[in-house]
Copies of this chain bind each other. A is one copy, B any other.
Amino acid sequence: MGRVYNFSAGPAVLPEEVLQEAAAEMMDYKGSGMSVMEMSHRSKWFDDIIKEAEKDLRDLMNIPDNYKVLFLQGGASQQFSAIPMNLMKNGVADFIVTGQWAKKAYEEAGKYGKAVKIASSEDKTFSYIPDCSDLPIDDDADYVYICENNTIYGTKFKTLPNTKGKTLVADVSSCFLSEPHDVEKYGIIYGGVQKNIGPAGVVISIIREDLITDDVLPGTPTMLKFKTQADKDSLYNTPPCYGIYICGKVFKWLKKQGGLAAMKELNEKKAKILYDFLDESKMFKGTVVKEDRSLMNAPFVTGDKDLDAKFVKEATAAGFVNLKGHRSVGGMRASIYNAMPMEGVEKLVAFMRRFEEENL
């Protein structure tokens, strides 16, 4: 059928030219006589790949020198343990719970110390971001934790919380590289790459150096200790080499698009097309408070389950796939990450318009 428009929340659409390059290099990467999958992680070839990936990411995000870039495994879920194990020196962390992933991080941290829910939007099915300008931050909080963009619910922090001087830790899995981040405002900014950057199985964590120490909780697995990975430049053991290689290609693609400021502009335009339609539609409604809308994940409903199902079915047949909402929310969700072209959003909206005319 040829390529579809893939609105999956993750793993998700990747730039076509990245995939084409990867396919072309599969049997012989740049004259090495082998695939990147077959290369020793200690080889000069792979050393160049991982170093260049890090350099390009540093350029894109303007990462200060006192931050380490780590390529890790296990998804954000594994960081839900690793972060408290590495950071809970006082045994206290504050959580702003704006969705399932922040909630899971909060619950996991409770195993390792006192995890405090200082704000939540669970009262309204996580459809908004709470006011975070003056929260009761604990005096001895080791850090304040957020999930910056909520993939399932389609909300995003438009301003970072006032942490009153405490270290901010943010999971940015679903908004990673979708716009510029001011890295200096974070102690840790991290995410799984499988939404906006590359194939599942790689986590990128950007960590301020003073947070990388030997002083971790007793029983912290060696592999989960940040210092283990930082001291070896992510090569303590064999990293997920092929995934890192693909991420590196996406970084180069992003540079070619003009970097993160250009991506932000494009992502805002793409999201506006969809949200403007949702605001004017008599059938489709966005589920999120307007000012907290994500640029990446747009959930919407018709209010009628059967009609939702009909829409998803017909959209799929027309080549707009993975529009079914998350099982915990229902309805629909269009994830429009960096690699979703403008044309994909335009055509989706045209399709929705036609569907509305035919079914209202």
Contact = CB atoms under 8 A, between A and B. Distances in A.
Interface string A180-224: 000000000000101000111110000000000000011101111
Most chain B CB inside 10 Å of its own CB: which residue of A33, A38, A76, A240: A38
A37 B23 contact: no
Interface string A121-136: 0000000000000000
A4 interface: yes
Contact of A40 (B10, B192, B236): B10
A28 B14 contact: no
Interface string A1-31: 1111010111111101001101110111001
B40 A9 contact: yes
Indicate how many identical chains form the complex: 2
Contacts of A3: 27-28, 33-34
A246 B111 CA distance: 36
Contact of A33 (B6, B43, B242): B6
A217 B199 CA distance: 32
B28 A2 contact: yes
B108 A8 contact: no
A64 interface: no
Given A77-B237, A221-B108, A8 B321 contact: no
User: Which of A19, A31, A202, A218 has the most chain B CB atoms closer than 10 A to its own CB?
Assistant: A19
Contacts of A62: none
A263 interface: no
B23 A223 contact: no
Given A8-B40, A11-B39, A26-B26, 11 more contacts: A3-B27, A4-B33, A8-B38, A10-B40, A19-B35, A37-B198, A73-B78, A112-B219, A200-B239, A201-B239, A242-B242
Interface of A: 1-4, 6, 8-14, 16, 19-20, 22-24, 26-28, 31-35, 37-41, 43, 73-78, 80-82, 85, 108, 111-112, 192, 194, 198-202, 217-219, 221-224, 236-243, 246, 319, 321-322
